[in-house]
Amino acid sequence: MTAEELLAIAESERQAKQQLKYCVHVCSSTGCASSNSEAVAAALQQHVKEAGLQQAVQVNMVGCMGLCALGPLVEIEQVQVQGGAPPTTVLYQSVTPADAPEIVSGLVSGQAVQRLRLETDDPFFTRQTKVVLAQAGRIDPERLEDYVADRGYQAVFKALTDMTPAEVIEEVTKSGLRGRGGGGYPTGLKWNTVAKVQSDQKYLICNADEGDPGAFMDRSILESNPHLVIEGMIIGAYAVGASKGYVYVRAEYPLAVKRMKQAIRQAERAGFLGQNICGADFSFNVEIRLGAGAFVCGEETALMASIEGRRGTPRPRPPYPAASGLWGKPTLINNVETFANVPGIILDGGEAYARVGTEKSKGTKIFALTGKINHTGLIEVPMGVTLREIIYEIGGGIPDGRKFKAVQTGGPSGGCIPEQFLDTPVDYESLSALGSIMGSGGMIVIDDSSSMIDVAKYFMEFSKEESCGKCVPCRVGTAQMYDLLCKFSAGQATEFDLRLLEDLCDLVKNTSLCGLGQTAPNPVISTLKYFRDEYLAKIKKPEEAFGVASTQAEHPIEEASQ
């Protein structure tokens, strides 16, 4: 496909849309689909047909609109307006197939269905800054033409025809983009490292193995806008010299897998994947690899082992994947959200991207906001927004009149942040200073009805079950910590158990092979730091453990082994 053909498709799509009076967008992502949104769309299409409005009204299945707690969501976008007034949109919540006749009648009369209406001036919508999610809920993820109509694949043409690989990397470096998978490593620096390695073959991997409990950011991006991720992958491959790409996604995401496979086929037919892309001397192909749900395969060396057909266990580093990755070749690995940021950086420039965010954490970040919060859903906010703004303004506060107690960020690898730090800006350094991490974007709100020991126990049980067992500190240490947390939860712990738990946290954190074990103690460490009184309240009485008086054991692990 040439640039002229791409622009012609975009113009044709825009003209076709202008012939409509309304576009009806029905959320079809997993959250709304589980609430029967497909039946809602079918009912709307049927009633549009019965009303003879096929030429004026188009019903589209779109991606995530964000406010998952109130799905299925339906948005009515007014395309044609009278007297030069700006187009308007109406958003409906908790729609059922039975609501379809009233909604379609409202399109004829021009009157909204007030009982279903959700005010779009709510802070949940107005306080967000959508970059990666700008097209989510607005385009049909299963149509290449919808993506192309809104600047889709223009960044690929710009990169491949107007820029050298080094210039692409320079622009990404200027943007300050950091890896959104959790580590926050500078993307431009990683790309530059892979680009400098000389090899006859290089690989690129999109890590979509999202395994944190309560996290659904990557899944929603793949479901809502798969072509955005593919475009970012193409640009990354061109920048580092990779000719083969893999999307590693867990099999528990069937809709994301379906739409990604479909998008790959569409991109191949359009000439954006394959040989001599955009007429340039550059070829790149993408395949999907399904993961079986092992959390450890989110770690890059375990992920590569899984792609190669081996058991997904991590290996020591160095060598790093940039030098010796997939099948021993240089490999670039970034997660879904990282690649999804790239097309906008290339089109608008790295400096424009860097104007959003903080000094060291640029751009926006997507979070899955869950737990004891009124507005559960997917949000995208500028780096530097405070936890208080996210929880009380965007999230709508704590339900049922309960009090906020803590927010857990970063999944099993993160920590619990108490109320006194609600005004902390959300960026890599600030969260790390509090003993938590940004992670991939899970954010679980906890109210005063929850025990922080039980929260720590939940995440430790997850880490224990997901440990690959390759190294002793993680395999044995997480099990021992879980057993100790069970004792605290049951009110059977001793002072010795408390010191043993703290020593185990230190041991597992500093001696485990990979990130799973190294960060598994974080929920325990943070709850011990900020909610120590809950642990102390569960200590039954000083007792002797393993034949050693707890009051004398300064180093429980050493004492217990004697």
Q: What is the pLDDT of residues 309-358, one digit of tens each?
A: 999 999 998 999 999 999 999 999 999 999 999 999 999 999 999 999 99
**Residue 392 domain flag:** yes
Higher pLDDT, 171 or 440: 171
Contacts made by residues 160-168, CB under 8 angstroms, sequence distance 24+: 160/238, 160/277, 160/278, 160/280, 160/282, 161/3, 161/278, 161/279, 161/280, 163/346, 165/195, 165/238, 165/239, 165/240, 165/241, 166/195, 168/235, 168/238, 168/239, 168/346
Residues 242 and 302 grouped into a single domain: yes
Q: Report d(CA 334, CA 393) in Å as an integer.
A: 31
Closest to 338 (Cα-Cα) out of 129, 29, 153, 132: 132
Q: Among 302, 324, 354, identify where a domain stops.
A: 354
Residues 392 and 343 grouped into a single domain: no
pTM of the model: 0.93
Q: Domain containing 256 — which CATH number?
A: 3.40.50.11540
**Residue 139 domain flag:** no
Report yes or no: 53 and 108 within 8 Å, Cβ to Cβ: yes
Residues 186 and 327 grouped into a single domain: yes
Q: For residues 485, 487, 489 and 495, what is the CA-based torsion angle, rounded to 10 degrees?
A: -80
> Which amino acid appears at position 523 of this protein?
P
Do β-strands 74-78 and 22-27 pair in parallel, antiparallel, or remain unpaired? antiparallel
> Which amino acid appears at position 225 of this protein?
N
User: What SS3 state is found at 474?
Assistant: helix
Q: Domain containing 68 — which CATH number?
A: 3.40.30.10
Residues 384 and 457 grouped into a single domain: no
Q: If you average pLDDT over residues 441-470, what whole number do you get?
A: 95
Residue 100 has pLDDT above 80, yes or no: yes
Domain that holds residue 311: 151-354
Name the domain count of the chain: 4
For residue 85 the two structure tokens come to: 């007034």
Residues 193 and 80 grouped into a single domain: no
**Residue 126 domain flag:** no
**Residue 207 domain flag:** yes
In Å, what is the CA distance from 517 to each residue of 134, 157, 456, 469, 558? Answer: 36, 43, 15, 10, 21
Q: Among 120, 141, 167, identify where a domain stops.
A: 120
Place of tokens 């990130």: 515
Residue 561 has pLDDT above 70, yes or no: no
**Residue 16 domain flag:** yes
Q: Among 293, 323, 354, identify where a domain stops.
A: 354
Residues 71 and 218 grouped into a single domain: no
Q: What is the pLDDT of residues 45-91, one digit of tens each?
A: 999 999 999 999 999 999 999 999 999 999 999 987 666 666 789 99
Q: What is the pLDDT of residues 228-265, one digit of tens each?
A: 999 999 999 999 999 999 999 999 999 999 999 999 99
Report yes or no: 235 and 343 within 8 Å, Cβ to Cβ: yes
The dihedral through the CA atoms of 208, 213, 216, 217 has a sign that is: negative
Q: Report d(CA 148, CA 157) in Å as an integer.
A: 12
Closest to 470 (Cα-Cα) out of 312, 338, 360: 312
Q: If you average pLDDT over residues 212-233, what whole number do you get?
A: 95
Burial 112-126 (b: 16+ CB within 10 A, else e): bbeebebeeeeebbe
Closest to 215 (Cα-Cα) out of 118, 337, 363: 337
For residue 471 the two structure tokens come to: 């190294």
Do β-strands 203-208 and 117-118 pair in parallel, antiparallel, or remain unpaired? unpaired
**Mean pLDDT in the chain?**
93
> Which amino acid appears at position 231 of this protein?
E
Q: For residues 375, 458, 440 and 414, what is the CA-based torsion angle, rounded to 10 degrees?
A: 110
Residues 471 and 555 grouped into a single domain: yes
Residues 309 and 163 grouped into a single domain: yes
Q: Where are the alpha helices (DSSP H) in 408-494?
A: 428-433, 452-466, 472-489
